[in-house]
Amino acid sequence: MKKQEISVSILDCNFNDIENEIAKINNSSCDYIHVDVMDGKFVPNIAFDDKTINKVNLYSTKKIDYHLMVKNPKDYITKCAKNNAEIISVHYEENDNVYNDLISIKSLGCKAGLAINPSTKISEVSKLFKYIDILLLMSVQPGKGGQKFLNSTFKKIINTKKLIQEMNYKIKIEIDGGIDNKVSKKLFDLGSNILVSGSYIIKNKNLDSAIISLRD
């Protein structure tokens, strides 16, 4: 049975107590800590300056999964790689250098992720499949936590899975946005490999029972 991986988004954490927040995640059965880097240009919000990225890396014993929602990923890729990145995902949208970004991520020894918004078609990005390890499908509009999951994601996963198999690539499918235990089983059943969940896990009194409920 393939591993059902969970990446905990820390957008809803209390950053005044980040060491304890990360410790709770370290003590859970999740696979990754998901760090959303936002520059206020690609999306309206700003999240995770250098100091926070350094702190997360300092305290984390989990693999780190960086999601760059920024106008110029190049400025952040090296920084994330230095801070123990397992995965670095860059957006396809508004990015003329997406190919170079993916090559750069790989050259730094990290797994290259390509993130796409709900409105972006899979057929538009399939030409980049040979350069990626992860395809990150947004299941909400990127930029803020706590949004409602978009059901159109289910069909997108089916089409994505089919295309990856036809093209004979080994690409993991990661889903990000609005994920709770009402949709997680179906997402895994359809072929997703990694689910990103933030508020559903962080706002639960028992992090691990929330994580287990996503896998069951």
Domain ranges of the chain: 5-215
Catalytic residues: 36, 176
Position 142 scores a pLDDT of 87
Q: How crowded is residue 206: how many other Cβ atoms within 10 Å of its Cβ?
A: 12
- Look at the pTM and tell me if it is higher than 0.85: yes
Query: What CATH superfamily classification does 5-215 receive?
Result: Aldolase class I (3.20.20.70)
> Which regions of the chain does DSSP assign to beta strands (E)?
5-9, 32-39, 46-47, 63-69, 85-91, 111-116, 134-138, 172-176, 194-197
Q: What is the pLDDT of residue 20?
A: 95
Contact 83, 57 (CB under 8 A): yes
Q: What is the pLDDT along the chain (216 residues), one digit of tens a residue?
A: 568 999 999 998 998 999 999 999 999 999 999 999 999 999 999 888 888 899 999 999 999 999 999 999 998 999 999 999 999 999 999 999 999 999 999 999 999 999 999 999 999 999 999 999 999 999 999 877 677 999 999 999 999 999 999 999 999 999 999 999 999 999 999 999 999 999 999 999 999 999 999 998
Q: Check if the beta carbon of residue 180 is closer than 8 Å to that of residue 200.
A: yes
pLDDT recorded at residue 145: 67
